[in-house]
Structure 1
């Protein structure tokens, strides 16, 4: 039986799109563990054990559950336990970690997540890595904790490796800036180039959710210009397939550069017209063209745009 499961798992990693592979993988886990939900994560952790998640694939984890966990104080006990035993499949009876945390206890009861089985590879702090967690409800008396842990040891390392293979095949560790997100803005996968562009444009961004302004914009349109980025998206099977590119800075002619610099410096239209030996209407037309090219509407924004292009 295990041989057939592994064949299906690795065949799926090779052939299936991201979302379909995730559902296949967690379905295979369900055949050996009584799980009700799970997640793949990709991110980094620091020397203190604090995790920054870049992308997630959620299996039966609604957005409200994810947001509620993000807002809870303190580290996730399952992740903390897994980092303490990096490279091993670990079992965390979550309720034992909630005795002094009433909010965590309520969260565990609300979502029936009494047991977590987690695997995070042993890599140096700061190194991007994958991880997987699956959850079960209360253990029935007929269940053997040791047997469940043994089953988790048997399947989770293969699930994690197959997911890593699938993600790399689908997005590539190098190449275009592409990402896949759920309709609510949670990233399932993102290439390193996409993560770099998003982080540069929104320095305070906290993945795995897309930046809020981008999520809001993509609810109503499929092409967005945000700062230095051009972002296109398509929707298929309730998933957003996103491509990001750096916008080419529009160039100003030498005459436009001179007019723009004088306007930012506070020169009046008559002064600009006299110094440039052109008419007032020409100055007005040039400034209108400059504003349109740079996508600005006032002198403050014009100054910022020129500074960003190194023209001030």
Structure 2
């Protein structure tokens, strides 16, 4: 209940950081990552929040993301919480260059990760929690809890975001927020269905071409043809 109460009391820029701090009351972790973005041929992160990690962690991760053994498994099983050691043994992972250059220096010894993606808009959220002790494994109950709570974290963050827009005077029955080039950023839950009723073949993460042209004033058909 406190999570959803926070959607109205916590400012949008602070909400994800606040929610991750709240999460520490229910499952122990030392640091965390919460990313937003979309997936076409690969996962693209457009915004993120870190808990007890420096920005340098994400900068360094760019060097290793294509070798991250978790990524492919998360992309193939949206909504499922995965432990790093479900994918690769701890002994094997500790021998990799990614572990030596990235995970160990940033205190990422244990990882539980969950990716949630809307199949129509292709917008995604990814939440990962980390422990710095190589012997403090996540339990099956903690894994089940993260699979349960992650959709609530995402829904609460979405409600918080649109509540902020309404306070700023953006009143209306449905709200879509996109980047300058027509890529979706936030979408209210009922909007995807409305867009598909108007454009039955449409799928995100770009706005439907006729709508994108009205918003951006440029031809974006090459994107849709390629994807």
Query: Fold match, TM over 0.5?
Result: yes
Match of 2:103 among 87, 104, 108: 108
| Root-mean-square deviation (Å) | 3.3
Equivalent runs, 1:219-230 vs 2, <5 Å = none
Assess, with a 3 A threshold, how the Cα gap between structure 1 residues 168 and 120 changes in structure 2: closer, same or farther. Answer: farther
Residue 10 (structure 1) aligns with: 4
Residue 16 (structure 2) aligns with: 22
Residue 53 (structure 1) aligns with: 45
Residue 34 (structure 1) aligns with: 28
Residue 143 of structure 2 is aligned to residue 159 of structure 1: no
Could you tell me how far 1:84 is from its partner in structure 2?
2.1
TM-score by length of 2: 0.63
Residue 126 of structure 2 is aligned to residue 136 of structure 1: no
Unpaired runs of at least 5, structure 2: 171-175, 184-215, 217-227
C-alpha contact (below 8 Å) 1:46/1:125 kept by paired residues = no
Residue 146 of structure 2 is aligned to residue 147 of structure 1: no
Assess, with a 3 A threshold, how the Cα gap between structure 1 residues 96 and 32 changes in structure 2: closer, same or farther. Answer: farther
| Greater alpha carbon shift after TM alignment, 102-111 vs 88-97 | 88-97
Residue 122 of structure 2 is aligned to residue 127 of structure 1: yes
Partner deviation per Cα, 1:209-260 (whole Å, 9 max, x = no partner): xxxxxxxxxxxxxxxxxxxxxxxxxxxxxxxxxxxxx9xxxxxxxxxxxxxx
Residue 219 (structure 1) aligns with: none
Could you tell me how far 1:40 is from its partner in structure 2?
2.0
C-alpha contact (below 8 Å) 1:130/1:164 kept by paired residues = no
TM-score by length of 1: 0.48
Could you tell me how far 1:131 is from its partner in structure 2?
2.5
How many corresponding residue pairs? 175
- Give the secondary structure class of the aligned counterpart of 2:66: coil
Q: Comparing both chains, which one has the higher relative contact order based on Cα–Cα distances under 8 Å and sequence gaps of 6 or more?
A: 2
